[in-house]
Chain A
Amino acid sequence: MVKSVVGEENFIDMVPNRSNNYCCGGGGGFLQSGYKDARLEYGRIKDEQIQATRADYCVAACHNCHAQIHELSEHFGGHYGVVHLWSIICLSLGILGPNERTYLNDDLKTVNVFHPETEM
């Protein structure tokens, strides 16, 4: 699905991947557990995996992962974008409006904007 949305040549999988991939550390209640330092330390492996791909964006499928990986990107200084799957699907379909781009970085903020005149 991601390949068909961003183009085969723009998709870089992380290593290891699929069932052998690492959890980002947002799940299991970790985000609300209060153990913030431990949670970021847990996420170090995920962040290294993502940074090793040198990809500009990481796509997250659920809200917990999105919140955690977004924080990892800032905390470890990778500053890659972290987007919901639904955002890039709509972007590729040309139906993503200007106010639905909170998680797109500057490189995509103005690309293929649906009804740009409605920007708030």
Chain B
Amino acid sequence: MQGVFEEKGPSNRYVAEKEGQMTQEPIRLSGKKTSTFIDKVKELLPDGGNLNLCLTCGACSSGCPATGLEGMDPRKFLRMAALGMDEEVTSTPWVWMCSMCQRCIYVCPMKIDIPRLVYFARQSWPRETRPKGILGSCDMALKNDTCSAMGAGEEDFQFVVEDVLEEYREAQPEFAEMEAPIDKQGAEFFVNQNSREPVTEPDELLPLWKILHTVGADWTYGSKGWAAENYCMFLADDESWKHITQTAVKQADDLGCKVFLNTE
């Protein structure tokens, strides 16, 4: 299996070991194929996500950092889904350990979309049973239009930005003219920001502002939709994901910004 896709670097042996451990347990089938999960996913994806084209070559698993976690790996996950093991596929916590990085698609000779299969498996979990941290961050972001997963409101954000800006304009006079506008009509760039900076480490806002100032960029934050993180996407909650994206995009459009600069 390793020979098919030769990886360089120190992790080769490690992945091989992990795979070795995993292959010891045979998968037993109930005999009757009652698959619906993978069929439903196929209907949703362009070209069915190529989900029935697997050659079982193992290139995906040999280069997946999540291989071995929960005794699972991408090829095995796909095989189990193809064999109709819906119960296992839709209950394994492994779907929260695949980061949906898409490396497996990149190396797969058949370009099989395993991360989308993972995404729909996440979605099959009743919402309230999905990981608390992701759920809480999504719900928090839905509470107000800033979309901040840390719950920072419009006024909190404005206060921090203005306060820090003023302090630095004084302390570093070369940047006395620097701006960090919120809702500047007609700015070219709409910039968003991970909540962690304004909430926990405001000094980290400065380097970005200085770069934008130095290159003469015409930019703005939005009072709504400034928060860059979107945990509703990771939660596999389509409606909420869409709501958050739309809130930010609408603000950028209302301000007449030409470019949406996502810093996350």
Contact = CB atoms under 8 A, between A and B. Distances in A.
B66 A16 contact: no
Nearest to B69: A38
A90 B203 contact: no
Contacts, number: 140
Interface range, A side: 35 or more
A40 B210 CA distance: 34
Interface in A50-67: 52, 62-64
B239 interface: no
Given A28-B100, A115-B171, A102 B204 contact: yes
Interface of B: 7-11, 14-15, 63, 65-66, 68-70, 93, 96-101, 103, 106-107, 131-134, 136-137, 168, 171-172, 174-175, 194, 196-197, 201, 203-204, 206-208, 210-211, 214, 228-229, 231, 234-235, 263-264
Select the residue from A29, A64, A86 with max chain B CB neighbours within 10 A: A29
B65 A49 contact: no
A95 B101 contact: no
A95 B175 CA distance: 10
Interface of A: 14-16, 19-23, 25-35, 38-39, 41-46, 48-49, 52, 62-64, 84, 86-87, 89-90, 93, 95-97, 99-100, 102, 114-115, 118
B103 A22 contact: yes
